[in-house]
Amino acid sequence: MKDVYILAIESSCDETSMAIVKNGKDVVSLTIATQMDTHALYGGVVPEIASRMHTEAITLVLEETLKKANMKMEDMDAIAVTCKPGLTGSLIVGIECAKTLALIYNKPLIGVNHLIGHIYANNIDDKMEFPMLALIVSGGHTELVIMEDDYKFKRLGETLDDAIGEAYDKVARVIGLKYPGGPNVEKLALEGNDTYNLPKPVMDDTYNFSYSGLKSAIINLVHNAEQRGEEVRRTDLAKSFQVVAIDELVRKVEKAFRETGIKRLVVAGGVSANKYLKEEMQKLCSKYEAKLLIPKLLYCTDNAAMIGAAAYPLYLKKEFSDYSLNASSEGDLL
Ligand code: AMP
Ligand code: MG
């Protein structure tokens, strides 16, 4: 079969990224222009600034991505783009670029769900096999699903309030760490011990997640300490939070291993960059003799290579988008 080259575009949040991906797994070139330093000045992503910065960067990112691959637009077989979920203004910049390229170069257009992109990041250096469990842990989502086949999802549980990444970011803020919070909490936790007695987010015996109680407990703890003039042991608090937050993920995946008998797990989304999460999932998978896939660090956080990987099964099935493709802030997997 002829090799398939997909030009993939990702602009759902604060990274403008493009990649050329061969046959859904070989990353021929990848460019990521991050806006992180700018948003860090404001303590979080400012949507209006993000859209403007995507507009500024996107053509340069395209030029660079083609140049690094030593390829031309004519060499591409399709144009893939993240269309949901994400910041609407940010998504629109990538979508408009993709549509224009598809029209001018007469290539099929493929709209890709960003969360599915995070899952397919696992196909880049490894191969996903079905059925498998997929745990999505990102800034906006915490979900546990069964994947029976490419693009066949069955949800076991999801977050009822805050996503785990959001909890990381809010805890970071209250203990005075800079945006992006997740990696900074992880770094601080390395120096701490699990000494704070925090509420476990155990609500019921479902597969659903809830992190707002844990987050609020930490915010209250810090504010109360401040009022009493007491010192907060930030390293210990970061460690204690991380243990409770991630142990909850482990508990739910263990339940799924026991109840479904499935022996494969992929972890996807920004929080999968976390080392403690990786270690705990590895221990669990060893106990259940299950195979664990977590993307390498570069593909854990937002990048266009994962969008190219997720677009490939759609290309094979000829599930193309038309020129009315639009952005959506919501993006259910099912
Ligand atoms: P995403 O929404 O998939 O783009 O992922 C972004 C989220 O992942 C943010 O909430 C980050 O704080 C979080 N994140 C990134 N790296 C880490 C890490 N090493 N540990 C915990 N959370 C992280
Ligand atoms: Mg993401």
The model's pLDDT over 173-220, given as tens digits with 9 standing for 90+, comes to 999 998 889 999 999 999 999 999 999 877 678 999 999 999 999 999
Query: Which residue of 271, 272, 275, 307 sits with most ligand 1 atoms within 8 Å of its CB, as the best mutation to test the pocket?
Result: 271
CATH match of 129-294 with 3.30.420.40: yes
Q: What distance in Å separates the CA atoms of residue 248 and residue 246, rounded to the nearest whole number?
A: 5
Q: How many residues does the chain have?
A: 334
pLDDT for position 203: 65
Task: Give 21-46 pLDDT, tens digit per residue.
Answer: 999 999 999 999 999 999 988 888 89
Q: Is the CB of 208 under 6 A from ligand 1?
A: no
Q: Is the CB of 272 under 6 A from ligand 1?
A: no
Task: Give 254-268 pLDDT, tens digit per residue.
Answer: 999 999 999 999 999
pLDDT for position 90: 97
Report the pLDDT averaged over residues 227-242: 96
Query: Which residue of 114, 168, 299, 302 sits with most ligand 1 atoms within 8 Å of its CB, as the best mutation to test the pocket?
Result: 168
The angle that helices 212-228 and 164-174 make with each other, rounded to 10 degrees, is: 10
The chain-wide mean pLDDT, for the chain, equals 95
User: Strand pairing partners for 147?
Assistant: 132, 153
Q: Is the CB of 44 under 6 A from ligand 1?
A: no
Tell me the CA–centroid distance for residue 299 and ligand 2, in Å. 10
CATH class of 5-120+299-316: alpha beta
Per-residue confidence band for 5, with pLDDT thresholds at 50, 70 and 90: very high
**Which residue puts its alpha carbon closest to atom 2 of ligand 1?**
139
Ligand nearest to the CA of 270: 1
The string of DSSP letters for 277-330 reads HHHHHHHHHHHTT-EEE---HHHHSS-SHHHHHHHHHHHHTT--B-TT----S-
Report the pLDDT averaged over residues 227-247: 96
Using CB atoms within 10 Å of the CB of residue 320, give its burial: 0 to 12 exposed, 13 to 18 middle, 19+ buried: middle
pLDDT for position 180: 83
pTM: 0.95
Tell me the CA–centroid distance for residue 139 and ligand 2, in Å. 7
Torsions phi, psi for 113 (to 5 deg): -80, 125
Closest CA to 189 of 247, 248, 234: 234
Task: Give 265-319 pLDDT, tens digit per residue.
Answer: 999 999 999 999 999 999 999 999 999 999 999 999 999 999 999 999 999 999 9
Using the atom order of ligand 1, give the atom closest to the CA of residue 270.
5
Sequence-ordered list of residues with C-beta below 8 angstroms from that of 79, at least 6 positions apart, any chain? 6, 7, 8, 9, 98, 101, 102, 105, 107, 108, 109, 110
Q: Do domains 5-120+299-316 and 129-294 have the same CATH topology?
A: yes
Using the atom order of ligand 1, give the atom closest to the CA of residue 268.
3
Domain boundaries, the chain: 5-120+299-316, 129-294
